[in-house]
Amino acid sequence: MTQPNTSGPSQQNTAHNGGTVYANQGGKMRVDNRTYIKAKVHAWTGWAVLVMLAADTVFFFYGASAYTGTQGDSGDLVRAGVYLVMMAVTISLVRRWFRTRL
């Protein structure tokens, strides 16, 4: 691996004696005991969780009412697979929503 080109302005991301390095991955960050830096928070995640929970509930009742129970009917398996994928997406959204709130 070669050294980076140093012809431009020099940037160092390491803290030195008396220096400060801030890192933020979301939410509020307290700086200098009084200043708050607010990072971008995904406001849409909460709404997406609510929509997916409603869709999961509706699809669950649809799948339960359309269940045939006959051997060799692939429709039951497809509905169950779609429901499991929807639940995985919902769980992923809930985890993301909790991470942005904590």
Question: What mean pLDDT is predicted for residues 10-14?
Answer: 57
- Distance CA(31)–CA(39), nearest Å, equals 13
pLDDT at 85 over 70: yes
pLDDT at 86: 96
- Partner residues linked to 37 by β-bridges: 29
Question: Cα 16–35–10 angle (5° rounding)?
Answer: 35
Least confident of 7-21, 60-74, 75-89: 7-21
pLDDT at 68 over 80: yes
Q: Which of 36, 5, 2 is nearest to 22 (CA)?
A: 36
For residue 30, the surrounding DSSP H or E stretch is strand 28-31
Going from N- to C-terminal start, the domains of the chain cover 44-101
Please state, rounded to an integer, the average pLDDT across all residues of the chain: 78
